[in-house]
A and B are shown apart, each in its own frame.
Chain A
Amino acid sequence: MQRSTLLLAGTALLTSLLTACSGGLLGSEKAAEGPIRIGMAVPLSGSSAPIGPNMKNGAQLAVDEINAQGGLLGRELELDVEDEACDATSAVAAANKLVSAGAVISVGGYCSSATLPTLPVFDKADIPMIIPAANSEQLVQQKLRSVFLINPTGAQQSEAAIQFIRKRQARTVAVLDDNTSYSTDIAKRTTELAKQAGITVTNTSVTPGESDYGSTVTKVLSGNPDFVYWTGYFQEGGLLVDQFRRAGYAKDFMVADGSVDPSLASIAGGADGVFATMTQTPDTIEGAGDWIAKYRKAFNAEPGPYSTQSYDAVRVAAEAIKKAQTTDGKKVVEALEQLKDFPIFSGPLTFNDRHTLSQGGFQILVVKGGKFVLQDSLR
Chain B
Amino acid sequence: MGRWVGPAGLLVAVAIPFVDASPYTLNVLTTAAIFVMLAAGLNIVVGYCGLLDLGYVAFMAVGAYTSGILSTAFELPLLYTIPAVLVVAVLAALVIGAPTLRLRSDYLAIVTLGFGEIIRITATNLDFTGGPTGIFGIPGIDVGGPAGFYFVCVAVVALAVLGSARLERSRLGRAWMFIREDEDAAEAMGVNTYRVKLLAYVFGAIWGASAGVLFAAHLSAVSPQSFVFLQSALVLMAVVLGGMGSARGVVVGAVVISVVPEVLRDLGAFRYVFFGVVLVVVMVLRPQGLWPVRRREPERVDAPVQEGVRV
| A interface, CB within 8 angstroms of B | 2-3, 6-7, 10, 13-14, 17-18, 21, 23-27, 44-45, 49, 82-83, 87-89, 92-93, 96-97, 99-101, 112-114, 116-117, 120-121, 125, 136, 138, 142, 179-181, 183-184, 205, 207
Contacts and interface: CB of A to CB of B under 8 A. Distances in A.
B147 to A, nearest CB: 6
A100 B269 contact: no
A22 to B, nearest CB: 10
A181 B269 contact: no
B132 A14 contact: no
B124 interface: yes
A83 B265 contact: yes
A218 to B, nearest CB: 20
B220 A3 contact: no
B170 interface: no
A187 B223 CA distance: 19
B265 to A, nearest CB: 7
A99 B219 CA distance: 15
Interface string B1-24: 100100010010001011111111
Contacts of B131: 179, 181, 184
Contacts of A82: 265
Interface string B21-62: 111111110010000000000000000000000000000000
Contacts of A121: 23
Contact of A207 (B15, B121, B225, B272): B121
Interface residues of A: mostly helix, strand, loop or mixed? helix
A112 B225 CA distance: 12
A88 B226 contact: yes
A100 B22 contact: yes
Q: Which of B8, B28, B132, B269 has the most CB of A within 10 A?
A: B132
Contacts of B121: 207
B136 interface: yes
Interface in B228-281: 262, 265, 268-269, 271-272
Contact of A83 (B15, B24, B223, B268): B268
Interface string B130-148: 0111101100000000010
Given A24-B18, A92-B27, A180-B132, A117 B225 contact: no
B24 A21 contact: no
A2 B4 CA distance: 10
A371 B75 CA distance: 50
A120 B272 CA distance: 27
B221 interface: yes
Contacts of B21: 23-25, 27
Nearest to B2: A2
A320 B225 CA distance: 34
Given A23-B19, A117-B219, A179-B124, A136 B28 contact: no
Rank and list the top 10 A-B pairs by shortest CB-CB distance, nearest first: A100-B24, A181-B133, A100-B22, A96-B27, A117-B221, A97-B24, A24-B18, A96-B23, A96-B24, A25-B21
A25 B19 CA distance: 7
30 contacts: A3-B4, A6-B4, A10-B11, A17-B15, A17-B18, A18-B15, A18-B18, A21-B20, A23-B19, A24-B20, A45-B272, A83-B265, A83-B268, A89-B226, A93-B24, A93-B27, A96-B24, A97-B27, A99-B23, A100-B22, A101-B24, A113-B132, A113-B223, A116-B221, A117-B220, A117-B223, A120-B220, A138-B133, A179-B124, A179-B132
B249 to A, nearest CB: 19
Nearest to A180: B132
Contacts of B219: 88-89, 92, 117
A116 B133 contact: yes
Contacts of B262: 93
A88 B1 contact: no
B23 A88 contact: no
B192 interface: no
B64 to A, nearest CB: 11
Contacts of B220: 117, 120
B11 A14 contact: yes
